[in-house]
Chains A and B, each alone.
Chain A
Amino acid sequence: MKKDDLIRVQNVSKSFRKVLALSDFSLSVSSGAIFSLLGPNGAGKTTLMKILLGLVGSDSGSVTIFDLPVSSPLSRRSVRYLPENVTFPSWATPAILFRQLERIRHESSAEEFRLRCTELECMDLMKRPVGKMSRGQRQRVALSLVTAGKPELVLLDEPSSGLDPGGRILVRNLIRNLASEGATVLINSHLLGEVERVCDTATFISRGRLIAEGELDSLSRKTGLAYIETDNAGRMILYLEAMGYSCRTESKGIVAELEDASAFPHLTRSVLDTGIRFTGINQMRESLEDVFLRIMDKDAERGTDIVS
């Protein structure tokens, strides 16, 4: 645990009757990060998020936000939370909802709200009752309402849920903007592609335990594939295949298969030997989905070992 940790979770356990949701779970999140909670369904991600907000009480351990126990409402004064399935009253318009929230939070953030609505392209929905909006529109409005003001910590449970690809891009931009404004963003999502594009660090949870955490780059391994950017892909493929590499064209270059992940320097030399001009060569890394599956498989094996 570092001194500037914004969230500190220490040895937290939580059971729902006989189901263990979190087991001796510890975690720390430093300020300014875009942080994701990843894991299969029922892993304990939402429970952890709710414990952080005091919505669910832990059976043991301690949880603090801004050095305050989560049982204190003061710990939530700069926190914003968007639950996964929130249904605002169907008659309420975003303008009404915002006014109510503004008064409860005792802050004047009309300007920021307008900015968020502009970012999420929902300015034209201000006077439309929530009941007459599509799911995606409701989600964008909810995000605008939640993130308006100057939050220091934003907890988003499945923020891209129900959004079309355009909406997802808007949400990604919003999250980046929040982080650039100094907010720490904690995301719980199953859309790994979205998480990969926006998050700095990830925590993997399985069966209520923390099984891996770190920066996304450090979690993903180098693969047995390399990407070579060249304008002369056809000739390059001929040369490399003659040298024994299996290749295919992809977007503006070639993907070459390596014998193993350590064979990348050898490929680099081979590419140089062809004498064909290329603008870049990189060893490809695992996607977050690959990382997720690898870590979960490993955890499942460990679980099997424990059982056996």
Chain B
Amino acid sequence: MRNGGPILFLNSIEQLLRRKIVLTAVIATVAFLGLYWWGVSAASSADLSMGHADADMAVAMLGPEDAALAAILTAGPLAATLVTALIIVIGSTMLPEEIGQGRMPFWLSLPQTRLKVYLSIGLAPLAVSYALSLILFGGIFAITSIYFPFTARNIPFVLVSMLAWLTVMWAAVMLLSLVVKKIASMLIVFFLASVASLFGGLYEIMQLFPGDAPKALETITHTIIYVFPADRGYRGVIYGLIPADAVITENLAFFGVTASVPSIHLVYAFIWSLVLLSIGYWRFRRMDF
């Protein structure tokens, strides 16, 4: 039997690319990168010590790496919000729309296993979001390094972390879209992503000051980190992307934004996603169409 999965996958990608929401996200990405370019180029021509006649020692020590770090930390969360919104919206609608439009019985009547149909259609939102994320963060990296030359800490780590970050949200929204209504699945995952982001920052701060946080807060933070590990991936993206030689990195660690992410956390995020994906497939396999 021929494996028709790749064809179904490409078909789903094509279908996604023709949707207005994806077109909107692409336009927003281009606009965002354009504005970022404009902002960074303007900032690059400014003198950091301008207005400081007595040139503060700290300011005097700042180099282009620090400016790059500041630019990335400013643009990163905005880019992450855009990608998060996209994967949640297209991930929650992909399977329900195929079912609602009556195409799912048609695909399943082809000589393909349910697993292939599930993955071929389901993987499309992840692939599109990953591509858009690469363009966004790749664009941020490229534009920044043109004006503030720097060496990123770990680009391969960025690529893996990005996949972990998106896979967690994708697996969650895919499962939820088969269990609750589209809107509900979107809201739940958006809420989880927001909470995970907040507590992800707290987690980093707690790592710097062990034992200082109330026990209950520590327990909640650790639980959330493991219940919805999306934030670990996002932090991995930022950690890998920021300049290796920035002076202010240590100072910013206080805010929980520049810390490294242990690889085991990313492995955990992938395993967690696989579990959710398996539960989603189990649900899909038992569905009547």
Residues of A within 8 A of B (CB): 16, 50, 53-57, 73-74, 76-77, 79-81, 83-89, 91, 100-101, 103-106, 155
Contact = CB atoms under 8 A, between A and B. Distances in A.
A79 B109 contact: yes
A55 B8 contact: no
20 contacts: A53-B105, A53-B109, A54-B108, A55-B109, A56-B289, A57-B288, A73-B1, A73-B111, A74-B1, A79-B109, A81-B105, A81-B106, A83-B109, A84-B102, A85-B102, A87-B101, A87-B103, A89-B15, A104-B7, A105-B111
Nearest to A52: B109
B288 A55 contact: yes
A85 B99 CA distance: 11
A223 B109 CA distance: 42
A142 to B, nearest CB: 9
A106 B106 CA distance: 16
A88 B103 contact: yes
Contacts, number: 70
Nearest to A73: B111
Given A56-B288, A73-B112, A76-B110, A105 B4 contact: yes
A100 B7 contact: yes
Interface of B: 1-2, 4, 7-8, 11, 15, 18, 101-103, 105-106, 108-113, 286, 288-289
B109 A76 contact: yes
Given A77-B1, A86-B106, A87-B103, 5 more contacts: A55-B288, A74-B111, A86-B101, A103-B4, A104-B110
Given A76-B110, A89-B18, A55 B289 contact: yes
B8 A104 contact: yes
Contacts of A73: 1, 111-113
A102 B110 CA distance: 11
Given A50-B288, A103-B7, A104-B112, A83 B1 contact: no
A126 B288 CA distance: 33
Nearest to B286: A57
Contacts of A103: 4, 7
Nearest to A104: B4
Nearest to B5: A104
A100 B289 CA distance: 22
Contacts of A56: 288-289
B108 A55 contact: yes
A73 B108 CA distance: 9
Contacts of B103: 86-88
A100 B11 CA distance: 7
Nearest to A56: B288
Q: Name the 9 nearest CB pairs between A and B, nearest first.
A: A106-B2, A104-B4, A81-B109, A56-B288, A87-B101, A86-B102, A77-B111, A55-B289, A76-B111
Contacts of B108: 53-55
B4 A106 contact: yes
